[in-house]
């Protein structure tokens, strides 16, 4: 089954509790929690206190934490304590391999993300360490951008390399292109705008689940 991970970057910032409820009621599989440091990407978003509050409100949700940070290794502990289920860091960030090992040592699922221009083969040495690969289908930093379809080749390449973990795609995903993504070997779809701005987010989740 294809999984859906709605990105709360597109949710109403004054109603994060409502966003959490929406994710739950729509039967989305995960909640995508984007963390930005205004250095790795030119934007700021949320910190661990929001994640902790969400975890306290709903401990069952799978919190899919995407760290767009230059030095993720300094923040892994605090996001683990706050309630992350999965922590994904960028291959382009500092101390990449040590940070993957640290996430693993904390007992969490381990993810590695690639910006659109980074080739899939940089992950060959670390594939055995990974539960998931997150392919950015836009330049990270902002919601509401247009998907770059050439990134889908990386999903095909990773499957051809024998990677059997989750392949997640992030950025510009919606009802119009989700089938194309699933056909390329991607099995986790992040949706910000297309989920939270939809008239009926539950119908969006249902459509993903029938792919
Ligand atoms: C971008 C973030 C995405 C973003 C996706 O840097 O990593 O998760 O929220 O938003 P949409 O689905 O609106 O492109
Ligand atoms: Zn993201």
Q: How far is the CA of 87 from the centre of ligand 2 (A)?
A: 11
**Domain covering 3-209, topology:** TIM Barrel (3.20.20)
* Long-range pairs, 149-155, Cβ under 8 A, ≥24: 149/177, 149/180, 150/116, 151/116, 152/180, 152/181, 152/184, 152/186, 153/184, 154/114, 154/119, 154/120, 155/181, 155/184, 155/185, 155/186
Chain centroid, CA 132 distance in Å: 10
| Sequence-ordered list of residues with C-beta below 8 angstroms from that of 55, at least 6 positions apart, any chain | 61, 63, 82, 83
Q: Which amino acids are annotated catalytic? A: 34, 170
Q: Pick from 37, 68, 139, 192 the residue to mutate for probing ligand 1's pocket: most ligand atoms within 8 Å of its CB.
A: 192
Q: Residue 85: its pLDDT value, please?
A: 98
Indicate the helix (H) or strand (E) that contains 160. helix 152-160
DSSP string, 99-147: HHHHHHHTT-EEEEEE-TTS-GGGGGGGGGG-SEEEEESS-TT-SS---
Name the one residue in this structure whose structure tokens are 């390449």.
Answer: 157
Q: Residue 111: its pLDDT value, please?
A: 98
- How confident is residue 157, by pLDDT bands cut at 50, 70 and 90? very high
Q: Residue 18: its pLDDT value, please?
A: 97
Residue nearest to atom 4 of ligand 1 (CA): 143
Q: Is 83 helix (H, G, I), strand (E, B) or coil?
A: coil
Q: Residue 191: its pLDDT value, please?
A: 98
Mean pLDDT of the chain: 98
Q: Residue 155: its pLDDT value, please?
A: 98
- Return d(Cα 19, Cα 70) in angstroms, integer: 28
Strands 188-191 and 166-170: parallel
Q: How far is the CA of 105 from the centre of ligand 2 (A)?
A: 23
Ligand 1 nearest-atom number relative to CA 172: 14
Strands 166-170 and 109-114: unpaired
Which residues lie with the beta carbon below 6 Å from any ligand 1 atom? 7, 9-10, 32, 34, 66, 138, 140-145, 170-173, 190-194
Q: How far is the CA of 34 from the centre of ligand 2 (A)?
A: 5
Nearest ligand, CA 40: 1
Q: Residue 106: its pLDDT value, please?
A: 98
Q: How far is the CA of 9 from the centre of ligand 1 (A)?
A: 7
Domain layout of the chain by residue ranges: 3-209
The pTM for the full model equals 0.98
């Amino acid at each position: 089954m294809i999984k859906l991970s709605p990105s709360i970057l597109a949710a109403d910032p004054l109603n994060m509790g409502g966003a959490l409820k929406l994710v739950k009621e729509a039967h989305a599989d995960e909640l995508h929690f984007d963390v930005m440091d205004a250095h790795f990407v030119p934007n700021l978003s949320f910190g661990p206190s929001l994640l902790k509050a969400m975890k306290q409100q709903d401990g069952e949700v799978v919190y899919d934490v995407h760290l767009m940070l230059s030095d993720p290794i300094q923040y892994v502990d605090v996001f683990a304590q706050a309630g992350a289920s999965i922590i994904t860091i960028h291959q382009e960030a500092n101390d990449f391999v040590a940070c993957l090992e640290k996430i693993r040592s904390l007992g969490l699922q381990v993810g590695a993300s690639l910006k659109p221009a980074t080739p899939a083969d940089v992950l060959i040495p670390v594939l055995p360490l990974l539960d998931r690969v997150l392919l950015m289908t836009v330049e990270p930093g902002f919601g509401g951008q247009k998907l770059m379809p050439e990134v889908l080749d990386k999903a095909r390449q990773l499957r051809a390399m024998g990677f059997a973990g989750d392949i997640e795609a992030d950025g510009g995903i919606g009802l119009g292109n989700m089938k194309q993504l699933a056909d390329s070997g991607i099995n986790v779809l992040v949706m910000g705008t297309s989920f939270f701005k939809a008239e009926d987010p539950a119908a969006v989740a249902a459509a993903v689940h029938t792919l």
